[in-house]
Structures are given as structure tokens and as C-alpha cells.
Structure 1
């Protein structure tokens, strides 16, 4: 009976596997070596032999982003990236910017996203006689679409998380990433208490991938699907969990729990790096240097003239673009790198190791900054949230952009020309700001309705004039308007692109593009953020407010007179009533004293 029950439980999984295989085989009716693809989504099972060079191009015709997932790949044994690989390009050809590369030693499940209208991947194989197998699927999606309980940052020592809709079936075309980070000098134990995903032999359709670190580029611990209760352990205090699903055969997903535990061995010395929009700060404890056999006198940066401050620790603090710091435009980020060299002592020989400490500040493009003006005692305060580059936006009183507007709300006249400027606060002189998209909304949370002023660098409103990028400033102007249905305020939210001014092929130099808002993996720009400013109100609302205030004040002044009049009237009525009562009592008393009475009259007929 127990065996029969287990067989019955496995039947849905077997059926799902068969259906999944049928779907994948059915979806591979394309030429074996390359194709041009236009469907909204498609799965490709690819088999290639030796000495081939094949190109696939995916072209979208809707305003969405392409997500491409290589959920299974098997190259020839012992092959290298130089001899055979998959190269993915952000555009219509192999001349487009390179998004990524997949090789035999790729320690991840590659997931790539386009920023262009098309995406190309090219597979080359070497001369080894071997059947290479690849399974790849893609789909179009809107970056603005959010799925509840899909990914996030978990920083507690212990915690739980579930797949979207759990225990109901997870949505199709889901891609969620959870980053787990616990205390320093700890490790993470992850246990899936309930786990039910679509089953197939290589976990090609729906899968969960777990990484040993905070990225999905390398450090894959494992990839699982089907029914199981898998457990994973990290080597440090960071771990990343990914859920990826296709369009069919959704199940209830998973419920996971993680705990943290101290790492065995000695405590890591006090060394850390902090990066801001202006500077880099490196702190090295003396005990750490002593454990390496060095002292603070052995240290130097790329530029030896930049010396540290030595207290309880050795502290290097310097502007980003100084002290020999090198800057690299990596497409989806800008990285500032400096190296601390620990020079060995001795004139002829040494038995000390040659050590370098590489410090990198990576200004990631998926950070966001929001700035909103708040007035308190006539002082404007800028409230800034998480972000690496410090960005703010202000209105100015003229096209000279010399005098910012200090009032909040900013009252303006209908059709008045408004001048807006985005400011980047950074010590790096080789950066330029580009206003990519600006939308307006009557609500500070930018719910419906919204109105496009600028979209993908293109002016969508007839009154908008954009200024050429000028160093750390992005400028534009437009005429004031109001939303219908009596909305009193207008807020602006702008997407800002920050580029290396030495890159002549960056997004900042391309201006207007017909593409919709790009994915965060945009390779032609370096860093992206958004900023908010508002509210803006029309002057007639100010007059109405003043009139209402005056009316309230007048009514308040009239109130004592009305109250006084009412008091006198009430007192007079009370006096009259008392007089009538007294007269009635006196008359009644006198009638009784005179022998007066009532006598019933008899009727006569």
C-alpha cells in the first residue's frame, strides 16, 4: 500500500516531465545552426558538433526587455573560453556591445537582459568530436511589472522567505533574486522546508539556483527542481538564491528558512573599505598588518605621495579621482580601483611575501536616489536615500541656472516657463549627467495618472527644451501645466544616466532614442538613478488659499459678535417668560381670594 501511494504521488511529476519535454521539443522547430526569432517567448534545444559557428538573433517588436536564460549547457570536455563559447551581444549583430560569455568553466546559470530592441548570441565550437547540448529560453517582460514577495535583501541573523503566491502556484516567467547577508565572520545554513517545482532531468524549465556570495555571476553551489528538501551552506556571511520559471506547469514553489552560525577559526582582523560619491576610505588594523609580518611603514598606494593617517588603525582616505586611482567603465557600472602595496624589507633578499591589497569602489547602476524638498522654518532640506552617487534636482528662476528656487511648494503661473537642473555631487571631473526620462504626476508616489515630459532622451511634451550635457549638470525647461480633475500639485520624477565623459559611445552622447526605459543591465551607460522634486502648484491655488484664509479669519472675527447677539436675545426671551409666569401666578392667587370659581352649566333642551 505504501509503495502504491508513492507511485500515485509521482504520477503528476512524471506527467509534468513528459509535458515539459514535449513543449521543449515542440518549441525547437528552428534551423539547427542559427535563426532569427520574433516570438514573445521561446525555448530552444540546441545540439551542435565540432567546428561550427552559429548565430541566433532575437528581435522584439514590443516595448519590453528581453531576458535570456541558459539553463543548461554542455561543451566539449576540457574546452576553454578561447576555443568554444557562447557570446551574447546587446543588439542585432556580433558587432553590438558584448553582454556576457558562457564557457565550459562558467560557474553559474547565465541570465542576461537586453537594453536594445534585439539580442544576439553566437556559439562557436572547437575541433573535438563531441555532441554539445544547450537549452536556452527567452521571453519579453516589462521591468516596471512587480511581483509581490519576489526577491529582496535579508539581513537578519535568521529568517524565512517563500516563492511568490506560496502555497499557491508561482507565476509564469518569474525571476526572483534574494540576497542574504548576515553578521561578519559567520556562515549561512539554508534549508527548504517545502519545495515543489516543475521536474525535469537537468532543471531546465523551472529551477532554484543557490550561490555562495552576493552575485549570480559565479559561485554556484547548486541548482534544484522537482520535489525535494535541499539544504545549502555558504562559506561566508553572504548567499544568493534565485527562482526562475518558464510559462507552463506551475506548482506551489517553496518555503525556505536560513540561520547563521559563527565561522570556525580566528576572528577576521578589522579591515574595511567605504565608498562615497566623493571619496574612498580604506582602514587596516595594525594587528592585521602584524599578522602578515608588516607594519604601517611598509604601505603605499599607487601614488606613493598619498600617505595614511596612523592611529589605532592605518587609514587611507582620498578623493576618488586621486592618489593613482584608476577608473574603468564596465558597461553596467563604473569601478574605481587603487592598490595598497606592502613592500618587503631587506636590501638583497627577503623571506616575506609580496602582498597587494586591492580596493575597489563599484558604483552600481541599480542604486536609486530620491530627493524631495521639504520646507521647515523656511529652510530647504534635502532628504536622500540609498545611493552611491549623490544626486539632487532643483528648480531655478531663469535659464542662467544661477539662483535656485527656495520656496516649497513652488507656486507658478499656468504656462510659465520652468527651469530644472539635476546636480551630480562628485569629485570625479570626468563624469557627465544625462536626463533620460522625466514623468509628472499629481501624486508623490507617482500613481495614475502620469504624464511624460521626456522619455528615453526624447522630448514628449511640445514645450520641453533640453540643454546639452554640461559636466555634472543635466538641464531642461518646460511650461507649467495642471492635471485635470482638480489635482492641486505636480511632482516630477526623472531617471538620470551618469556616464564617463571619455566614453564617446556612451548613452549620454546618443541623445534621443526610440527605445523604452532600459533594463538595469544597460551596457552603454554606467550608472542610473532617479530623483523626485515637488510639489508645484499654480498661483491661482495660492490666491484661493489666501482667500480661504482671509474668509476664515473674517468669520473668526465675526464669531464673537454673533455670540454676543445670541446671548442678549436669549436673556431677553428668558426675562419675558419669567414675567408672564409671575403675572399668571398673581392672577390665580387673586381669583381664589375673591371666591371666584368655575361652575358647570347644565344643558337645557
Structure 2
């Protein structure tokens, strides 16, 4: 057995520093089959003793999970998480001296957990108050931000892609890379996939390798879409100044992966907007994009004085690198917003008169 509960004195438990407890009588908790251990593996599953039956009371189990050097561990708790009066704690290292990643109880499913090294340490502690079904969690090794797998990008004008092997030039298995892209306040983010080659969907579902796009700064934000196969997703413009990209692979097929380019959206307005523009005004904006990229224009507010033939006040889009002799796309002058305009080349010009 091992020390548990509370007692007066010092108790040393394998894998932990000596701890002091306050009680008159020492107590002892018993190890059950499947209660703790040292696991050397790149993937696997651990669960509370007797799962899916009720776990025993007065129990303390510890697990140390170790994977390959330079890799990280991702842990996911499964549904039916039930620890009403007890807890499971996860530490970012090999013992309780490491940073605490989370201490979980109740019935709320814990979030996905990612280590910063190749170790995770778990503690499952129960008292005499009662037992329940417990929990089950799976783990697998993956790459970390220092290997190009995810991270925080504060410069929205950035290019990034899936980490690939120097030998095969294909992405590795068992990846879960999450990039959070942040632009300055009041700016939006343009995301363009310049290359895209993942495992094909199964029954029209992206089940194995996929990219997920969230319109916000985490995976709880609005899910824009889940993409796989070899069809390049359409460019996306965020609705706020943050964007999250998740790249997930399973343990089988490897392909060339993805490459993305992001940029901060620019805002052009009529003079004095949102107040009235002055008379006799001619403003011209020339917008350039990198080669092979598109310019995407979204008109968010539109209210000009109307005229029958758009000859007095108008907004004009010109699809050419030069200002004269251009394809002109005049908008009708109504209070309704014009539709989205996507320019297929590299340059276009906005003229407001």
C-alpha cells in the first residue's frame, strides 16, 4: 500500500516529494490492478481502476508517461468523465514539481492537453466519500511549436505550413498542430492556401487527416470548415482580428501537406467616413498582391447620393495594373451593399468620385 488520506508526519510516495498531512492516525490506500505505472510509449490509453465500473475509494494512482526525445505528448479525455468528489491532476513533466496543466473533477470533460516536453505525470486521488465510473484518456506523441507544429503568430503577414520530413518531404503521422494568428485591433486576417494535399476523405467525411479553420482565437470559436483531400480550400477572410488553424493527422497515410499565406486586410473609406464626404472629390487606391495571389474586396458600408446613370457619385473597381484604359465595374448607387468582388489577377484599383 501507499500513504494516502491525511495523517500527522511526513509521507513519501514514489514519484513525488515528501508531503505533510495532518491527522492523528495514518491511513493506507491500496494499489489496484491498473492503478498507476511508468509507461514508455508513443501512444496508448490509461483509465481509472475498474473502468467502466466504479473506481475504488481511498485510492491514489500515479502514472508517468514518457515518449521519444524532442517529441511532445497530447492527451484527450473521453466522454463519460465522472469524478464527482475526487480528482485527476495532470502535470507537465515527470512528477508533481512540474507545472500543473489541470486538476479535473465533476462531469465536465477536460480540454485536450499538450505537454511541453516528452513527459506527462498524472495523479488520480479518491477519498471515502463515494465512487463513480471514473475516466478514460488516450495519449499520443506529436511535434511541438519548436518543430513547426503550431504556435502563436502575432504577425498576421506570415506564411506557414505542415511540418514535413527532410527525407520523404511528407508530413509526419500523429500530428495535432494548432496555429493561433492575431492581427492588430480592428484588422482582419486573409488566409490563402497556396498548396493542399492531405489524405482523401472517407465517405465524403474528413475522418483521418484534415485541416479545421476557426474564426477566432481558439477551437471554441465558430468552425468555418473542415478540409481534406487535394481540393484547395477557398481563401477566407476572418470577421475579427484572430484566426485559428488546426492540422490533424492519424497514424497511417502521409502526404505533402499544406502551405498557407496570411495577410492583414486593409481598410479604405471615403473621406470623413462615417460622416458625409466632401463635394468634388476624386480618390484612387491601387492595391497590389503578391504574384499568383488574389485581391478580395468586401464592401461593408455603402451609401452614396444616387444619380440615374452613376455619373455624379460612384465607386468604381478597375481590374488592371494601370489606372487608365481599365475594365470598369461601377456599382449601382443604392443604400444596399454591393456584392463581394474577387479580383483574379494581382492588382486592382478603387476609384471613388
TM-score by length of 1: 0.28
Q: Which has the higher helix share?
A: 1
TM-score by length of 2: 0.43
